[in-house]
A and B are shown apart, each in its own frame.
Chain A
Amino acid sequence: MSTVKWITALALSLIAAAPAAAQGKLNVVTTTEDLAAIAREIGGDRVTVESIARGYQDPHFVEAKPSFILKLQKADLLIVVGRELEIGWLPPLIQQSRNAKVQVGAAGYLDASQRARILDIPTGQVTRAEGDVHPQGNPHYWLDPENGKIVAREIADKLSELRPNDRSVFDQRQAAFAGRIDEAEKRWLAAMQPYKGVKVVTYHRSFPNFAERFGLNVVGYVEPRPGIPPSPQHTLDLINDMKRQMVKVVLVEPYFDLKTPNAIGRETGAEVLVLPPSVGGTKEVTDYFTLFDYDINLLVGALKKVGTAAATK
């Protein structure tokens, strides 16, 4: 935020000091539960947070139900994943929300991807022959705790902009969150260290940031192209490829059908793991920390089981 804006905001808040102090909780709506989890960490008791999509649901294909319009109508802040993840369902909701605060570009609209490390940004010509590609890069960036910290910083800045009086609270909580992430990340990295470079196959391209951070080598996808369901030929090719490369783990997001992954697992002897990419993806994953706890625990367990042979490059 520019200093001018900050000073203006400060001046305005001073003028309106009394009402500002009496303001109720900020009503934050996020598109996904991951953003909701981070917003809760930062906002604490100064905010109420609600997510539109559930963690066990494919965030590309959320239905734009009118009940979500009601949520957006009352929102002070809308936080979106961005990178066109929500393009299929969020625009009509915002448009019908009758809420000037959360329109794209307004003060109460935050695209959390702006400063995060984004992977898979296509270079050269992008066509839909490649399937459902995201021209602005892979939107599953929250699966890197370092990005989690960046998103938390963005949210803290935005909350402070909307509630300048509580700036110190948000800053403090943000610093504490970053500290806890740093602590936990050491643990997570240590747990994954023995398996650095292990080859895995994932269903959709949901895990590039996770793989980059924790040293997984994603060598193939169950989907022939993003958003295109598995074809017999591709599945066969993938099985052969996995046998050749000794790939022993298949990661599947909770919202995909397990039929093809299980068949691949049977053919190749690979472990098929339902790995939630989001908070709320399974009952145990209730916040941003348990998301990594759960996923890494599951992965390490499976990697132990399939043996260290898989860990060789």
Chain B
Amino acid sequence: MRSFAFARGCLAVTILALPRLASAQTPDLAAIQQQIDQLKQQLQALQDQLSKVTSQPPAEPPAAAPPAQAAQAAAEPTATVPPGAEGAGGPSGSLPVYGAGAASSKVFNPDMAVIGDFLGAAGHNTVNPSPAMQMHESEASFQAVVDPYARADFFISFGEEGVDLEEGFVTFPALPGGLLVRAGKMRAAFGKVNTLHNHVIPWADRPVVTANLLNGEDGIDDAGFSVARLIPNPWIFLEATGQVFRGDSGELFTSSKPGDLSYVGHLRGYHDINENTNIDLGASYARGHNASGVVDGTDIGRFITQLGGFDATMRWRPLQRSIYHSFVGRSEVVWSRRQQPQGEQDSTGFYLSGDYQFARRWFTGARYDRSDRADTSALDSGQSLTLTYWPSEFSQIRGQYRRTRYAQTETANEFLFQFQFSIGAHGAHPF
């Protein structure tokens, strides 16, 4: 196959070089045009042959050999200097083929995908109103293997106005000692929802506890290192993750000195109860400097926020009917201890959710939310019901009814609707 790439590269270079070579001579546009047309035809013929060869079953190599030779023969004359260009200070003989490397290395382009998230809201919310319609997020992903030792994943989130690197990291999957090391910007391994992108969570929004205690939709998402190791034991899957970040995660963590790092630790246990049912438990801890002690850009307070978390997920999916029915029950509890000028503020929040797939393309779910705010003692709570339809694996339509009670006084009733659609090759998500 390399010879084709070579031949194509030759053609490309020849075509690109033509006008310049010709302008060194007397310009005869019609002749050049003719030559270009000829070359285009030859290129087309070659591409046809190439697609024929690639679509042939590889089980018959002898059959594939003759067309390969033929194509090479056809390609050869086109790689030479066009008649008339020779001897005029231009190159003679075969043209150098600069394009070949680039053409063949296109196969190394990363997997690219874009996932659109269109979000609408109707109803009444005076505390935290959502726009009636918004192209909430367009997530572009670029994922590929870097070399035998690493792979890279980029997730770039385009809002309607700004662009944000949601995640961009390199992973070393095969280090000695069973370590899985990541470096870059990533969503921290705190609990479950914090690690998930918008398009894989079963709701149109994120739980109240995320908004109140975990920096909202952006979550703990920062630049740093992550090291994860499996802890061998005869009973369950057990993974310990340690992460060090610069210490900037929106309102939650603010780093005013290079030493103000934030730390996240996570322990995950997973066990298959049977082939249909499994349980996934996690404990998390995070620590970093918060912004409440910052006065005029100087952190005079040196206040710390500590977070603890516990998450539990129970999944059921009957193997033989796995594409039709499933259930996921999940809960996360988060404790926050935030030092601030008024003293220490302890807050707690949790959500409890269940999502049931009742047909191949249909899901319904419910969620209960309850959470203190991080810096005051106000308590918010909420309930949601969702209905999701997948026209295909690559798109989904979701409606969500949400009732939120803010600080036990204001009540908001809203209907959220969401269209999500994916194009390109989006890598599979971790379980």
Q: Evaluate contact between A98 and B431: CB separation under 8 angstroms.
A: no
Q: Mark A27-66, 1 if CB is under 8 A from B, else 0.
A: 0000000000000000000000000001011100101111
The distance in angstroms between the C-alpha atoms of A95 and B180, with both chains bound, is: 9
A160 within 8 A of B: no
B358 within 8 A of A: no
Q: Which residues of A contact B360 (CB under 8 A)?
A: 229, 257
Determine which of A63, A96, A118 lies in contact with B57 in the assembled complex, contact meaning CB atoms within 8 Å.
Answer: A118
The distance in angstroms between the C-alpha atoms of A257 and B428, with both chains bound, is: 25
B278 within 8 A of A: yes
The distance in angstroms between the C-alpha atoms of A64 and B429, with both chains bound, is: 8
Given contacts A54-B319, A65-B431, A96-B430, contact A103 B148 (CB under 8 A): yes
For A62, the closest partner residue in chain B by CB is B322
A180 within 8 A of B: no
Q: Evaluate contact between A98 and B392: CB separation under 8 angstroms.
A: no
A91 within 8 A of B: yes
Q: Evaluate contact between B320 and A91: CB separation under 8 angstroms.
A: no
A69 within 8 A of B: yes
B179 within 8 A of A: yes
State the interface size on chain A (CB cutoff 8 A): 48
Q: Evaluate contact between B174 and A100: CB separation under 8 angstroms.
A: yes
Range for the number of chain B residues in contact with chain A: 35 or more
The distance in angstroms between the C-alpha atoms of A126 and B179, with both chains bound, is: 39
A250 within 8 A of B: no
Q: Evaluate contact between A123 and B55: CB separation under 8 angstroms.
A: yes
Given contacts A92-B430, A117-B57, A132-B392, contact A255 B320 (CB under 8 A): yes
Q: Evaluate contact between A96 and B180: CB separation under 8 angstroms.
A: yes
For B149, the closest partner residue in chain A by CB is A100
Q: Mark A110-151, 1 if CB is under 8 A from B, else 0.
A: 000011111001010000100110000000000000000010
Determine which of A61, A67, A92 lies in contact with B322 in the assembled complex, contact meaning CB atoms within 8 Å.
Answer: A61
Q: Which residues of A contact B271 (CB under 8 A)?
A: 67
Q: Mark A234-261, 1 if CB is under 8 A from B, else 0.
A: 0000000000000000000011110000
Given contacts A64-B431, A91-B428, A123-B55, contact A98 B237 (CB under 8 A): no
For A60, the closest partner residue in chain B by CB is B323
Q: Which residues of B contact A294 (CB under 8 A)?
A: none
Q: Evaluate contact between A255 and B178: CB separation under 8 angstroms.
A: no
User: Smallest distance from the beta carbon of A153 to chain B beta carbons, Å?
Assistant: 11
Q: Which residues of B contact A300 (CB under 8 A)?
A: none
Q: Evaluate contact between A92 and B429: CB separation under 8 angstroms.
A: yes
Q: Mark B227-248, 1 if CB is under 8 A from A, else 0.
A: 0001000000101000000000
Q: Which residues of B contact A61 (CB under 8 A)?
A: 322-323
Q: Evaluate contact between B322 and A70: CB separation under 8 angstroms.
A: no
The distance in angstroms between the C-alpha atoms of A227 and B320, with both chains bound, is: 16
Q: Evaluate contact between B322 and A87: CB separation under 8 angstroms.
A: no
The distance in angstroms between the C-alpha atoms of A150 and B427, with both chains bound, is: 30
The distance in angstroms between the C-alpha atoms of A56 and B323, with both chains bound, is: 12
Q: Evaluate contact between B430 and A64: CB separation under 8 angstroms.
A: yes
A176 within 8 A of B: no
Q: Evaluate contact between B428 and A87: CB separation under 8 angstroms.
A: yes
For A106, the closest partner residue in chain B by CB is B148
User: Smallest distance from the beta carbon of B357 to chain A beta carbons, Å?
Assistant: 12
B151 within 8 A of A: yes
A90 within 8 A of B: yes
Q: Which residues of A contact B164 (CB under 8 A)?
A: none
Q: Evaluate contact between B148 and A73: CB separation under 8 angstroms.
A: no
Q: Which residues of A contact B429 (CB under 8 A)?
A: 64, 92
Determine which of B59, B175, B237 lies in contact with A116 in the assembled complex, contact meaning CB atoms within 8 Å.
Answer: B59
Q: Which residues of B contact A255 (CB under 8 A)?
A: 320-323
The distance in angstroms between the C-alpha atoms of A121 and B54, with both chains bound, is: 9
Q: Mark B263-283, 1 if CB is under 8 A from A, else 0.
A: 000001011100100101000
Q: Which residues of A contact B321 (CB under 8 A)?
A: 255, 257
The distance in angstroms between the C-alpha atoms of A169 and B323, with both chains bound, is: 41
Determine which of B51, B230, B423 lies in contact with A70 in the assembled complex, contact meaning CB atoms within 8 Å.
Answer: B230
Q: Evaluate contact between A121 and B230: CB separation under 8 angstroms.
A: no
Q: Mark A258-270, 1 if CB is under 8 A from B, else 0.
A: 0000000000000
Determine which of B180, B270, B394 lies in contact with A98 in the assembled complex, contact meaning CB atoms within 8 Å.
Answer: B180
User: Smallest distance from the beta carbon of A232 to chain B beta carbons, Å?
Assistant: 14
The distance in angstroms between the C-alpha atoms of A256 and B324, with both chains bound, is: 8
A174 within 8 A of B: no
Q: Which residues of A contact B174 (CB under 8 A)?
A: 98-100, 103
Q: Which residues of B contact A114 (CB under 8 A)?
A: 58
The distance in angstroms between the C-alpha atoms of A64 and B431, with both chains bound, is: 5
B171 within 8 A of A: yes
Q: Evaluate contact between B272 and A65: CB separation under 8 angstroms.
A: yes
Given contacts A92-B430, A115-B59, contact A98 B179 (CB under 8 A): yes
Determine which of A105, A121, A131 lies in contact with B148 in the assembled complex, contact meaning CB atoms within 8 Å.
Answer: A105
User: Smallest distance from the beta carbon of A80 to chain B beta carbons, Å?
Assistant: 14
Determine which of B51, B57, B173 lies in contact with A97 in the assembled complex, contact meaning CB atoms within 8 Å.
Answer: B173
The distance in angstroms between the C-alpha atoms of A10 and B431, with both chains bound, is: 41
Q: Which residues of B contact A106 (CB under 8 A)?
A: 148
B122 within 8 A of A: no
B361 within 8 A of A: yes
For B320, the closest partner residue in chain A by CB is A56
User: Smallest distance from the beta carbon of B313 to chain A beta carbons, Å?
Assistant: 11
Given contacts A95-B171, A115-B58, A229-B360, contact A65 B148 (CB under 8 A): no
Instruction: Enumerate 29 A-B pairs (CB-CB under 8 Å) in ascending A order.
Output: A54-B275, A57-B319, A57-B322, A64-B428, A65-B270, A65-B272, A66-B237, A67-B237, A67-B272, A73-B178, A89-B428, A91-B427, A92-B428, A92-B430, A98-B173, A99-B174, A100-B173, A100-B174, A103-B174, A104-B145, A105-B148, A115-B58, A118-B57, A121-B55, A128-B392, A132-B393, A227-B392, A228-B392, A256-B323
Q: Which 7 pairs of residues, A with B, have the shortest CB-CB distance?
A: A100-B174, A66-B237, A66-B270, A64-B431, A98-B178, A92-B430, A56-B320
Q: B: which residues have CB within 8 A of A?
A: 51, 55, 57-59, 145, 148, 151, 171, 173-175, 178-180, 230, 237, 239, 268, 270-272, 275, 278, 280, 315, 317, 319-324, 360-361, 392-394, 423, 427-431
Query: Besides A66-B280, A66-B431, A114-B58, 20 other CB < 8 A contacts?
Result: A54-B319, A56-B319, A63-B317, A65-B272, A65-B278, A67-B271, A69-B230, A73-B178, A73-B230, A92-B431, A96-B173, A97-B173, A98-B175, A98-B179, A103-B148, A103-B174, A128-B392, A227-B393, A228-B392, A229-B361
